[in-house]
A and B are shown apart, each in its own frame.
Chain A
Amino acid sequence: MNAEAVTPELPPVPEAVTDRIGLIQYEEEGGFPVEHGYIWTTCASVENGNPLFWDDEVADALTDGPIAPPTMLSVWFRPHHWSPGRTEPAVPLQAHFDLKDDLDLPEAIISSNTNTFHDPVRIGDQVRSRQILRSISEPKTTRLGHGRFWTIDVEYLNQNDALLGVESYTAFGYRRPTVAGS
């Protein structure tokens, strides 16, 4: 008997999901203010000797004081591994996991990720983030399976509401092809 991949039909995107496009979701504060120790640890981990992060005189001259490397944007928001009273693990990018559930697409990969950097992150900043679903595609078939692409922005702001940066994730949620006749 020949085994043949079968592409399952996808139901339409529920209105409750399309209604979320463009809405701010999951606005949350980071667990601690931006601190210098993590900046040095991160620079040490990649042997980054940029004087902007090690020499206060350079930082004063160029950036009006010490700043964090731009690529550390999301570091300030990742939850502690444990905190008192928490019984469930904190899940980053919750809007992504919501879509997997709501669209009944059990598998998902992040296919690309664009980080855009705005105002510098400064020592002592209290960073907060918010998630915004930007788009959901029509059904698509890739080598992984049949599903939909979606794009979610995570915006990071400081205590003065200044935009620090945006991480834009494009994901493909899908079902693996089922095999007929097996």
Chain B
Amino acid sequence: MERLVHGDVSVGDVLPELGIDVTATTVVLGALASRDWRPMHHDRDFAINRNGTRDIFLNTPNQAAWFERYVTDWTGPTGRLGRMTFRMNTPVFPGDHMIFTATVTGTEVDDTGCGWIDLDVALMVGDVATTTCATRVALPLDNDDNPWARRGDAWRP
């Protein structure tokens, strides 16, 4: 896995896309892994007849895990997530092909010397951004820097 450093990244950079075919297993495994027992994430009858959706759908905590995986696939293990803001627009169902996309919207080094990257990340199904996630992730400034070593006032996500 590659390890990005802050200087490798510029505003406007586009991350490689990640495509995933969603199955019922994707949805159920994700819900149970995140300890979300609500029936709309594993019971198709409940989802259709009670929620009025066309099938079971990905839960939000598991979507967050997908976003994390997508971003840290790009940064490598030295990338440290600071902040994520989600907007959920429409559900993601089995049979959907989800594609994660992202663009770099900002880079900065804060007063403590921590290097930050801001990203607009989207989970797309077809032409629809089903969920968007503004993400702030810290990257090392060089190969001797490690954002994970930051504590207290030296970590300002």
Contact = CB atoms under 8 A, between A and B. Distances in A.
B7 interface: no
A92 to B, nearest CB: 10
Nearest to B68: A71
Interface residues of B, number: 38
A38 B65 contact: no
B65 A72 contact: yes
Given A46-B69, A48-B68, A75 B61 contact: yes
Contact of A113 (B29, B60, B69, B82): B60
Interface in B18-59: 20, 26, 29-30, 32-37
A44 B83 CA distance: 23
B24 to A, nearest CB: 13
A78 B146 contact: no
A75 B85 contact: no
Interface string B54-77: 000000111011111100110001
A45 B82 contact: no
A114 B155 contact: no
Interface majority SS on A: helix, strand, loop or mixed? mixed
B100 to A, nearest CB: 11
Nearest to A81: B37
A42 B65 contact: yes
Interface in A108-130: 110-120
Given A45-B33, A47-B69, A51-B1, A71 B84 contact: yes
Nearest to B28: A45
Interface centre among B29, B66, B83 (most CB of A within 10 A): B83
Contact of B30 (A46, A51, A72): A46
B85 A114 contact: yes
Contacts of B82: 116-117
A80 B117 CA distance: 37
Given A42-B33, A50-B77, A75-B34, A69 B65 contact: yes
Interface of A: 38, 41-52, 58, 62-63, 69-72, 74-75, 78, 81, 110-120
10 residue pairs, one from A and one from B, having the closest CB atoms = A48-B69, A78-B35, A71-B64, A45-B33, A114-B85, A52-B77, A81-B37, A42-B33, A71-B68, A45-B29
